[in-house]
Structure 1
Amino acid sequence: MYIDNIYTLYTDIHSVLDRGDKLNINVSNSSTIPLYEQIQNQIKAQILSGCLTPGEGLPSIRNLAKELKVSIITTKRAYEELEKEGFLQTVAGKGTFVAQQNTERLKEMAMYEIESKLEEIIKQAKSVGVSLEEGIEIFKSIYEEV
């Protein structure tokens, strides 16, 4: 598979966050997923996995845009969407931080979204005659590849 224009951001978080972990964001211009959504999904995943914890700061919209070589509007939209979903909070004059919200509730919301998407896929699979065993095999195969 050929991937064109992937930019990776490994921010030295010592200056941005309270700890020395790395914020890892990869964006691809050739992906069918919009850039803001790629950024949003990766930050959300790092929050849900515990890589980013409540109260930790994120790079400014401007710095993130510069590092990823994307528009400020793109990073602003990603941050705004994450704020709407309760993952981030912005404090005027101080920056953007991982929200203090209950992590379990955020995981529950993410699970609901996954279940809804799986339900849609299962309906589509059933409509073309895919058996449960075949579906499980497809799921396992893709799961192991990702």
Structure 2
Amino acid sequence: MDIIISNTGAVPIYEQITRQIKGLILRGELREGEALPSMRTLARDLHISLITTKRAYEELEREGFVATVPGKGCFVAPRNLELARESLMTQIEESLSQAVRLARSGGVSLSELNESLRILYQEEPL
């Protein structure tokens, strides 16, 4: 499992991990029942705090993406991927609505907004 984190961005590290693991699950790269690396292993591999990985895994579990089996670890939870994708689309629409409001209030045109989105989509790591 390849996770890339940025220490310089505005997005907290635990959230970067959470987003990337969700993406792997939604794209089918991590399948139902598949084990995730232990929190300690992930923390060591990413050179981050164990507390950060614990927070990411807790968030994933709270949202139903993973299930923890005591003494065995975290596994991709069984879920309705269509429902998960719909939830993701709702979050995207909320964020885009906020961006549109900001753009309108600042006089940013739709073409400028589209160009910004295109650039961000191509360059921003998960």
| TM-score with structure 1 setting the length | 0.78
Aligned to 1:45: 23
Aligned to 2:41: 63
Larger radius of gyration: 1
The one-letter amino acid of 1:39's match is I
The total of aligned residue pairs comes to 124
User: In the aligned structure 2, how far is the partner of 1:123 from the partner of 1:44?
Assistant: 27
Q: Which has the higher contact order (CA 8 A, sep 6+)?
A: 2
Aligned to 1:96: 74
Aligned to 2:105: 127
| TM-score with structure 2 setting the length | 0.89
RMSD, matched Cα: 1.5
Which structure features the higher share of strand residues? 1
**Alpha-carbon distance, 1:119 to partner:** 0.1
88-97 or 129-138, which moves further after superposition? 129-138
> Is 1:117 equivalent to 2:92 in the alignment?
no
Which structure features the higher share of helix residues? 2
**Secondary structure in 1 matching 2:3:** strand
> Is 1:83 equivalent to 2:83 in the alignment?
no
Percent of residue pairs bearing the same amino acid type = 52
Cα distance 1:129–1:31, how it changes in 2: closer, same or farther (>3 A)?
closer
List gaps (5 residues or longer) in structure 2.
Answer: none
Cα distance 1:48–1:28, how it changes in 2: closer, same or farther (>3 A)?
same
List gaps (5 residues or longer) in structure 1.
Answer: 1-22
